[in-house]
């Protein structure tokens, strides 16, 4: 279902295909160049300018703060630099031979998202993230590299993965590459399930994604632990696969023997008849978040998942139904949902990963004294340049005040982006997930 861009190892002068390709160069700045290509259909309007957008800008610790980054050009990449939010915009060149638009960018290891913009410059102000040229149209997807999606969801982008080359880079994200032995890869599909209150794709029917590990189904009495992963604000059920590469990460962890074969379910908290409050209201909690209103919304989502999604998964797949063999993780607004699950469905899961979350309950909230919190594994993750940095730090302080030991994953070169969340899934899968709880220094 997914066309993976081919990794070509050809000399730089050879124009080979109309597709976006990753090219190994064996030279700096990173050892790899991605040739991004926009290949319009003959029926598409004739473009005068095409822009590539979505790749994160390049900075280093010396030139970054939690609100400002210097934008180096890709040719200035050195091993100490990293890709960090917000995205930048490149103008593409027309290639008359292939009748495509091309932009070649040296890139570091990991997954990156991109879209094309035709006659519309989507550049944003680096401080406010607002479009500066009035281009608010959605990007055009790379039709040769479509996202993995159940057909709805707001963050539709194409994603490219680039290998690590230790001669030029220091950050190894190779765990997002497809497992080389394709016979040991799991598979992804989307399913519809009955869920009262759902509006999309149809009344009382909701959609979620599912990853089944390699070998699933070969032994019908075998039970698999199930990891539920939530997207963030504006996202959808495909995000953890499309942008987060959860399937490739799981394939790699399972093949290396670092994680027992696990089913991954990716629900969506959009498309219900529940109202999602804004983040600033007159019920404002910490740091301008409407934590009261958000938790009212999360309470409905939690009930829905517990009453309809989880029973459906457990009735239809070879799922281990013991709470210790269920895990819940999520990012950003989905990190808030994960907190709500942690505090209010503590006994329904054994493991939680809270990433880039909204504010956690205040230290004075008696909810911290819930005994069951001492019997689950908790991982807390954030980026050093993450807009959620303070929420993550406060959560960790409050956990410690209550003598709740957790695993933490700070990704120093990350903002609020998928490189952080993919890395967290990898780290959690390697250490903690399905292991002894509560997590301790031996996890
Ligand atoms: C964007 O739109 C506003 C309002 O229509 C206009 O004043 C401004 O000049 C436009 N900016 C650009 C860069 O086109
Ligand atoms: C949402 O749907 C559920 C189930 O169909 C229904 O009971 C509930 O009243 C609806 N809520 C709203 C606000 O429409
Ligand atoms: C996914 O894998 C399962 C078990 O290996 C198999 O039954 C199913 O047909 C596969 N689905 C797809 C879409 O390949
Ligand atoms: C199938 O799974 C069951 C339950 O885990 C296990 O006891 C049994 O040994 C497995 N059979 C084979 C042939 O692996
Ligand atoms: C919050 O604002 C709304 C709309 O302005 C108002 O109706 C409501 O009374 C306010 N609630 C509180 C608790 O101040
Ligand atoms: C669920 O957890 C949140 C904290 O994440 C809390 O604020 C909220 O009140 C809880 N909901 C219920 C129904 O207890
Ligand atoms: C938790 O319980 C302890 C011991 O009973 C008490 O001292 C503390 O104030 C409680 N914390 C909260 C936040 O209620």
Q: What is the pLDDT of residues 182-233, one digit of tens each?
A: 999 999 999 999 999 999 999 999 999 999 999 999 999 999 999 999 999 9
Q: Is the pLDDT of residue 277 over 80?
A: no
Largest Cα separation within the chain, whole Å, is 68
- Give the lowest-confidence range in 63-72, 277-286, 416-425: 277-286
Number of H helices, E strands in the chain: 7, 17
Closest-approaching ligand to the CA atom of 194: 2
Residues 379 and 406: beta-carbon distance below 8 Å: yes
Q: State how far the Cα of 341 lies from the Cα of 336, in Å rounded to an integer.
A: 9
**Segment 303-318, tens digit of pLDDT:** 999 999 999 999 999 9
Q: Is the pLDDT of residue 16 over 60?
A: no
Band (pLDDT 50/70/90 cuts) for residue 15 is very low
Cα 286 to middle of ligand 5, angstroms: 18
Band (pLDDT 50/70/90 cuts) for residue 2 is very low
pLDDT at site 442: 78
Start and end residues for every CATH 3.40.50.1820 domain found in the chain: 182-430
Q: Is the pLDDT of residue 47 over 90?
A: yes
Cα angle 21-23-29, degrees, rounded to a multiple of 5 = 125
Identify the CATH number of the domain defined by range 182-430: 3.40.50.1820
What mean pLDDT do residues 422-438 have?
Answer: 97
Pocket test for ligand 3, best of 216, 254, 317, 319 (most atoms within 8 A of CB): 216
Closest Cα to atom 9 of ligand 6: 295
Question: Which atom in ligand 3 lies closest to the alpha carbon of residue 187?
Answer: 1
Provide the whole-model pTM. Answer: 0.92
What are the residues whose beta carbons fall under 8 Å from the beta carbon of 224, sequence distance 6 or more?
213, 216, 261, 262, 263, 317, 318, 319, 320
């Amino acid at each position: 279902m997914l066309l993976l861009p081919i990794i070509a190892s050809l000399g730089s002068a050879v124009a080979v295909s109309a597709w976006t390709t990753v090219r190994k160069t064996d030279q700096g700045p990173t050892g790899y160049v991605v040739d991004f290509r926009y290949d319009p259909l003959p029926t598409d309007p004739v473009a005068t300018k095409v822009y590539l957008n979505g790749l994160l800008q390049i900075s280093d610790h010396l030139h970054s703060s939690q609100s400002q980054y210097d934008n180096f050009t890709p040719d200035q990449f050195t091993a100490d630099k990293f890709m960090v939010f917000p995205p930048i915009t490149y103008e593409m060149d027309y290639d008359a031979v292939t009748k495509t638009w091309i932009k070649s960018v040296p890139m570091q290891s990991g997954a990156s998202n991109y879209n094309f913009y035709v006659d519309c410059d989507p550049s944003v102000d680096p401080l406010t993230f607002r479009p500066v040229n009035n281009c608010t149209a959605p990007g055009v997807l790379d039709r040769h590299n479509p996202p993995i999606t159940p057909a709805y969801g707001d963050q539709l982008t194409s994603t490219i993965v680039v290998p690590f080359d230790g001669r030029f880079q220091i950050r190894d994200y190779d765990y997002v590459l497809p497992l080389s032995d394709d016979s040991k890869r799991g598979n992804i599909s989307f399913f519809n399930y009955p869920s009262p209150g759902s509006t999309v794709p149809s009344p009382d029917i909701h959609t979620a994604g599912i990853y089944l590990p390699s070998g699933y189904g070969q032994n019908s009495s075998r039970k698999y632990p199930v990891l539920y992963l939530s997207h963030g604000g504006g996202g959808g059920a495909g995000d953890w696969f499309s942008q987060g590469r959860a399937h490739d990460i799981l394939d790699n962890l399972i093949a290396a023997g670092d994680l027992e074969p696990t089913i991954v379910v990716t629900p969506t908290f959009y498309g219900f008849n529940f109202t999602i409050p804004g983040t600033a209201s007159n019920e404002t909690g910490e740091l301008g978040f409407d934590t009261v209103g958000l938790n009212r919304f999360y309470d409905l989502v939690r009930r829905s998942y517990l009453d309809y999604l989880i029973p459906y998964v457990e009735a239809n797949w070879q799922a281990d139904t013991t709470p210790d063999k269920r895990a819940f993780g999520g990012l950003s607004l989905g990190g808030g949902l994960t907190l709500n699950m942690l505090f209010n469905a503590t006994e329904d899961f054994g493991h939680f990963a809270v990433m880039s979350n909204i504010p956690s309950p205040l230290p004075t909230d008696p909810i911290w004294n819930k005994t069951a919190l001492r019997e689950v594994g908790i991982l807390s993750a954030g980026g050093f340049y993450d807009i959620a940095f303070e929420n993550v730090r406060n959560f960790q302080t409050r956990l410690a005040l209550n003598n709740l030991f957790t695993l933490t994953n700070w990704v120093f070169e990350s903002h609020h982006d998928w490189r952080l969340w993919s890395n967290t899934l990898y780290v959690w899968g390697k250490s903690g997930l399905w292991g002894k709880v509560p997590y301790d220094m031996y996890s």
